[in-house]
Amino acid sequence: MGATRKIFNLPIIIRKNHIWISELPGMFIGIAVAVALITLGWIALLNDHTIQKYNTILPLIKTERVFVARTLTELRQKFTIVTVLDTFSHGKLSDEIKWTLAELVYRNSKTYGYDPLLVLAVIHVESLFDPKAKGQFRDGNYSGALGLMQLKTETAREVAEALGIPFKSKDDLFIPEVNIPLGIAYLTQQISHFKSLKLGILAYNQGPGVIASSLKSKQPLSIRYYNKVLQSYFSLRKMSGNS
């Protein structure tokens, strides 16, 4: 069978001329298995913690990426508006006016679903981008239209009341932050009322009563103003590289 001897107090099994240390292998294997199990358990816990951590962070990262992408797109479009304004006005507008117009036109255009360049075209035709512009009839008399989008006081007050925008006096129409939101809202009202971009733009300039009367009596419409807006719009698009 085999003989057992003790060397240095370790039990030795001699079997078929092979020497076996009877307890140490079992101890080493047991320790190794225990260490391996502990290590695997620790790695599993660490991985689980890491997974939970990233499951929490990943949605935030995705949200942040969407926000950053949207912000960059918005900044690029505003910069395009500023560049177009500078080119279109031959550098006559101050940086303050250009960036104010870009911010207001972009934000309010997006609210109503317009191409910002279309709103810029209306502003160009109405006031040549002058916040202090005062409208005149062809005979030279003042029309009562004021500011960037050339609104009359009574019209502006009606729109302001409908939107809940504070409006104190006609002097408010010289403030771009008041004039542009009211002007775009009024343009939207006319387009919605006549269910036509062309008729809405004409009504913005000539008044809804004039357009309604011409349509009712089947009289030809004067489209000179509409053509000027379109001409300005396509010029702006060409300058922006979207022709």
* Same domain flag for 95 and 199: yes
* Same domain flag for 52 and 94: no
Tell me how many domains the chain contains: 2
Name the 3-class secondary structure at 15: strand
- The verdict on residue 122 lying in a domain is yes
Tell me the whole-structure pTM to 2 decimals.
Answer: 0.71
* Same domain flag for 163 and 225: yes
Q: Cβ–Cβ contacts within 10 Å for residue 210, how many?
A: 15
- The verdict on residue 235 lying in a domain is yes
- The verdict on residue 83 lying in a domain is no
Is 194 in contact with 164 (CB distance < 8 Å)? no
**Angle, helices 224-240/116-127, rounded to nearest 10 degrees:** 130
Range of the domain at 15: 3-57
What is the CATH number for 125? 1.10.530.10
Q: What local confidence, expressed as pLDDT, does residue 199 receive? A: 97
* Same domain flag for 95 and 206: yes
* Same domain flag for 40 and 158: no
Distance CA 145, CA 155 (A): 10
Last residue of a domain, one of 35, 57, 79: 57
* Same domain flag for 51 and 129: no
Tens-digit pLDDT string for the chain (243 aa): 545 444 444 454 444 554 444 555 556 666 776 777 787 777 766 766 667 766 676 666 666 666 666 777 888 888 999 999 898 888 888 999 999 999 999 999 999 999 999 999 999 999 999 999 998 877 777 889 999 999 999 999 999 999 888 899 999 999 999 999 999 999 999 999 999 999 999 999 999 999 999 999 999 999 999 999 999 999 999 988 776
* Same domain flag for 127 and 196: yes
- The verdict on residue 98 lying in a domain is yes
Q: What local confidence, expressed as pLDDT, does residue 121 receive? A: 96
CA 78 to each of CA 46, 74, 109: distance values in angstroms, whole numbers, following the listed order? 47, 6, 12
Q: What local confidence, expressed as pLDDT, does residue 127 receive? A: 95
Distance CA 160, CA 183 (A): 10
In degrees and rounded to multiples of 5, residue 129 shows phi and psi of 65, 25
* Same domain flag for 119 and 234: yes
- The verdict on residue 192 lying in a domain is yes
Q: What local confidence, expressed as pLDDT, does residue 7 receive? A: 44
Question: Which residues in the chain belong to E strands, given as ranges?
Answer: 3-7, 10-15, 18-21, 134-136, 142-146
